[in-house]
């Protein structure tokens, strides 16, 4: 059964999509079967992996709202072991249409239940809001990774996000865990950025990944070629950082397995 990880932060431009794409790619490279779910009507994760969702007949909208089987929507990416459910602009309408349907918070959960047994990991790229799409992402997740941009306002909005996670836990998904904060867009020459890293490590109420993702032009360029950083520049510092994040995730998986045996 796949572990489902949601990448969530209602703040825009903090590296959710970049992190989802590259963590998914390195998990696939490590031999895991991975499904990336693009839950953002902007469709950045889809285009970042070279998929033009506007040209497709079906996307996540059709599974979540019209009840189409996800198997008929899932696509293979250029990376072996990495599949995607793409998103397009019509998903923005879903946010509104869902308001009137039953179990509206569980639509994505219902979609993923149908394919969960085929994968080791399912990663969800969320939109920059705490609306119904993101709530669907949280309810469908076993854990959340919160990308945090290392800048002065990094912690602003985090308490609102943690409050929302707490509400989801109380009312909708009691087993939802905080997988960790992932520091992104880090500029080591900036003293303030170093302070923010220390702040987050000291105050974030959950694990913080050891790996810190640097600000890197190569990471910003890769999506315009429809490529992950592994395919675009495997030896760049951004590539090394995401490889490190995945190493941490896989180490945790090993730990969890050991605990189950005991």
Please say which residue, 46 or 173, places its beta carbon nearer to Mg ion.
46
Using the rule CB under 5 A, give the single segment among 13-21, 30-38, 168-176, 180-188 that binds Mg ion: 13-21
Please say which residue, 120 or 164, places its beta carbon nearer to Mg ion.
164
44 is a site residue for Mg ion (CB under 5 A): yes
Using the rule CB under 5 A, give the single segment among 10-18, 85-93, 106-114, 232-240 that binds Mg ion: 10-18
Q: Choose among ligand ATP, Mg ion, none what residue 219 binds, the Cβ cut-off being 5 to 8 Å by kind.
A: ligand ATP
Residue number closest to Mg ion, CB atom:
17
Closest approach of ligand ATP to the CB of residue 8, in Å: 10
- By the 8 A CB rule, do 259 and 57 touch? no
Please say which residue, 82 or 115, places its beta carbon nearer to ligand ATP.
82
| Site residue total, Mg ion (CB under 5 A) | 3
6, 10, 15, 17: residue in contact with Mg ion (rule CB under 5 A): 17
Closest approach of ligand ATP to the CB of residue 139, in Å: 19
Please say which residue, 17 or 141, places its beta carbon nearer to Mg ion.
17
Please say which residue, 181 or 219, places its beta carbon nearer to ligand ATP.
219
Which residues would be at the binding site for Mg ion (CB under 5 A)? Answer: 16-17, 44
């Amino acid at each position: 059964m796949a572990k489902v990880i949601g990448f969530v932060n209602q703040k825009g431009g903090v590296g959710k999509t970049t992190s989802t794409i590259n963590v998914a790619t390195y998990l696939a490279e490590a031999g895991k079967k991975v499904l990336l779910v693009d839950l953002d009507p902007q469709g950045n994760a889809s285009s970042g992996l070279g998929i033009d969702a506007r040209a497709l007949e079906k996307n996540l909208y059709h599974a979540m709202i019209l009840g189409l089987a996800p198997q008929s929507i899932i696509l293979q990416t250029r990376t072996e072991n990495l599949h995607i459910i793409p998103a397009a602009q019509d998903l923005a309408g879903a946010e509104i249409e869902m308001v009137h349907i039953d179990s509206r918070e569980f639509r994505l959960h219902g979609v993923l239940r149908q394919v969960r047994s085929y994968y080791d990991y399912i990663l969800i790229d969320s939109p920059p809001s705490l609306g119904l799409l993101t709530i669907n992402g949280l309810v469908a997740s076993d854990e959340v990774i919160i990308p945090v941009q290392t800048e002065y306002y990094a912690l602003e909005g985090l308490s609102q996000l943690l409050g929302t996670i707490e509400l989801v836990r109380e009312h909708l998904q009691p087993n939802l865990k905080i997988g960790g904060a992932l520091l992104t867009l880090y500029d080591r020459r900036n003293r303030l950025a170093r302070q923010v890293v220390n702040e987050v490590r000291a105050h974030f109420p959950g694990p913080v990944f050891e790996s810190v993702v640097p600000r890197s032009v190569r990471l910003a360029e890769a999506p315009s070629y429809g490529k992950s950083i592994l395919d675009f520049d495997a030896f760049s510092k951004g590539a090394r950082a995401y490889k490190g994040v995945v190493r941490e995730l896989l180490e945790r998986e090993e730990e969890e397995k050991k605990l189950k045996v005991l």
